[in-house]
Structure 1
Amino acid sequence: MKKIMIFSLLVASLSFAACDPIEDREEMTGSITVDQIQATVTVEQIDGQNVNKVFFECKSPISCQWTNGVDTKAGASGEMFLLLSGENTITLKGLCADGSIVEKNFPINVDKIHYAIDPAYGLLFGSGEKVWKWAETDCLGNGGWRADQQGPEWWKLSPTDVEGQMATEGGNATMKFSLIGKKIEFSNGKSGVINFTTGDACFNGWYGTFTSTCGVLCGKAFNDCYISAGTMITKYQLVSLTEDRLVLGWCENETNAEWSGTGWWWVFEAQ
């Protein structure tokens, strides 16, 4: 029995060693302070200008996680694209051997967006933050769920009407989108996290999908359907997106098939 146990332990230790890459790093023991972190973040330069790509490396004995506030990568070294020109921050979060966490920020200035990024980032978040308000007319309502529909056509509400449906979320209410952390904050204090994808909308010609952990202004189901009336909607079709206009849609039939149910639209303008 002792021989079998010793052999099993030996195999386990060899398996662990085989999976662990060989790196020129210190032994991972104990903890380190932020000042002791040996890490660099280098921005790529093209024609003397800092462009939106960085290379990161850490030689300290910690497990590393790097983020630009939107995307996250793990590993001792790698590269990452930046989404904004101007001031950016790369954050290294390290897990020490004793379980403690250390965090270090690396300020980066980007002169030029050289590597293409999804234009939806700029349209939704502007230069880092963007405030959206209700469209002046026909900002919320319903209609037939079909590909050529871009807003309410049957029951149409103005911003003042919306206030009667959900207090503090109509009238002059706003939503602020922040790129770092992909945050959403209502003018009434409600907040959450948003995300989007492009090219996956239910109809050709629509932009994609949009999700929010706290919905959008007055983002509720008005009728009982596959969810109960009053339920907060967290996933929308991104019907249209431009520099100054955002249209979201949602269907009372979860299949999203054309004419499968009543459609609802939320129409916002950039403030």
Structure 2
Amino acid sequence: MKNFKIKNLWMLIVIIIMAACSPIEDRDELVNSTDIEGVELVATQSTPGGNKITLSMVTPGVTGHWDYGLGLAFTDKVEFVYPIPGKSTFTYNGTLGAEFFSKTIEVQIDALDTPIDQDYYDLVSANTAAGKTWVFNGTGGDGGLWWYMVAPNNPDGWQGAWWNAGGTCCPPPDATGSMKFDLNGGANFTYTSSPGATPVVSSFNLDVENQTLTIVGGNILGAQEPRGNPDGKYTIISLTETELILYVPTNGGGTGWTWVFKPQ
């Protein structure tokens, strides 16, 4: 009888241990509140075809953020002044509940009737469609500082020339060239290596907040290897109506480099 009780006790202990080791499953699963087609994006303009835009995601149960080209807005609604005429595409990235998604909306901008940031006017002129042409602020061998080597990773040291390449022995091959920025239906960048050469058109991105200028699909004057940035991104040291100074923290030669331009 005693052995029978001990045996039953051990069986009870084993059952308790097995029950304790069994996982407690949470059967709650994420589900979509709608599908991508059910996500409604709305764009309104303060005037018909104007460049002051409000983007809204109005579908309940969906969360995410707007990528509106000039930055990210971690809200369902964002208002901004867009500097580029023409048809532009804006993206809402979010979650339906169980999966992530991206959806776009197009906006046609016919007029820059709301003033844009002054940096754009300085870069492309008040006549944004006609644009503005920039050239090097110097010529080869003139002794001036307009294309030169500087310390790496130190924008504050942009004036401390380690080697005045442009002003002394070794100007870039396109030292007599030009580059034009305009907003005629897009952010257009036109590179011309020398007077009479065939222009090459690409695009640019001016990041006013972070003070960077990026050439997309092309490059600036004096970007011969290893001087320029393969990514086309440059730190803006100065941008005024009469001066454009750019700096790259590191290039293929392991140093920094400075460019100084003036309007043509």
* Paired residues, number: 219
User: Using a 3 Å threshold, how does the CA distance of structure 1 residues 231 and 239 change in structure 2: closer, same or farther?
Assistant: closer
Higher percent of residues as strand? 1
Instruction: Return 5+ residue gaps in structure 1 as ranges.
Output: 21-26, 201-207, 222-229, 254-260
Q: Does 1:58 align with 2:54?
A: no
Which residue is equivalent to 1:105?
106
Distance 1:106 1:236 in 2: 29
Q: Does 1:246 align with 2:231?
A: no
Cα shift readout 1:101-146 (whole Å, capped 9, x = no counterpart): 6543133566334xxx753243235537844431363484338878
- Cα displacement (A) at 1:68: 3.9
Distance 2:66 2:166 in 1: 46
Distance 2:91 2:255 in 1: 47
Which residue is equivalent to 1:267?
260
Amino acid aligned to 1:142: Y
Instruction: Return 5+ residue gaps in structure 2 as ranges.
Output: 1-17, 141-145, 193-198
Which residue is equivalent to 2:42?
40
TM-score (structure 2 length as normaliser): 0.52
Which residue is equivalent to 2:79?
80
- Mapping of residues 138-153 of structure 1, within 5 Å: 138=139, 140-142=146-148, 149=159
Which residue is equivalent to 2:8?
none
- Cα displacement (A) at 1:43: 4.0
- Cα displacement (A) at 1:147: 6.3
Cα shift readout 1:34-75 (whole Å, capped 9, x = no counterpart): xx8643223458xxxx78352523338877664443334465
Distance 1:209 1:39 in 2: 30
Which residue is equivalent to 2:4?
none
- Cα displacement (A) at 1:242: 1.0
Which residue is equivalent to 2:26?
8
Distance 1:99 1:87 in 2: 29
Distance 1:68 1:180 in 2: 17
Q: Does 1:217 align with 2:221?
A: yes
- Cα displacement (A) at 1:172: 3.0
Distance 1:8 1:60 in 2: 26
- Cα displacement (A) at 1:6: 5.9
SS at match of 1:8: coil
Distance 1:102 1:263 in 2: 40
Amino acid aligned to 2:108: P
Distance 1:231 1:155 in 2: 11
- Cα displacement (A) at 1:173: 3.6
- Cα displacement (A) at 1:28: 1.6
Asked if 1 retains the 8 angstrom alpha-carbon contact of 2:91 and 2:105, the reply is: yes
User: Using a 3 Å threshold, how does the CA distance of structure 1 residues 74 and 238 change in structure 2: closer, same or farther?
Assistant: closer
Asked if 1 retains the 8 angstrom alpha-carbon contact of 2:84 and 2:183, the reply is: no
**Higher gyration radius (CA):** 2
Amino acid aligned to 2:222: C
Distance 1:263 1:74 in 2: 35
- Cα displacement (A) at 1:246: 0.8
Amino acid aligned to 1:174: M
CA RMSD of aligned residues (A): 5.4
Amino acid aligned to 1:40: V
Which residue is equivalent to 2:136?
135
Distance 2:219 2:108 in 1: 32
Distance 1:94 1:251 in 2: 32
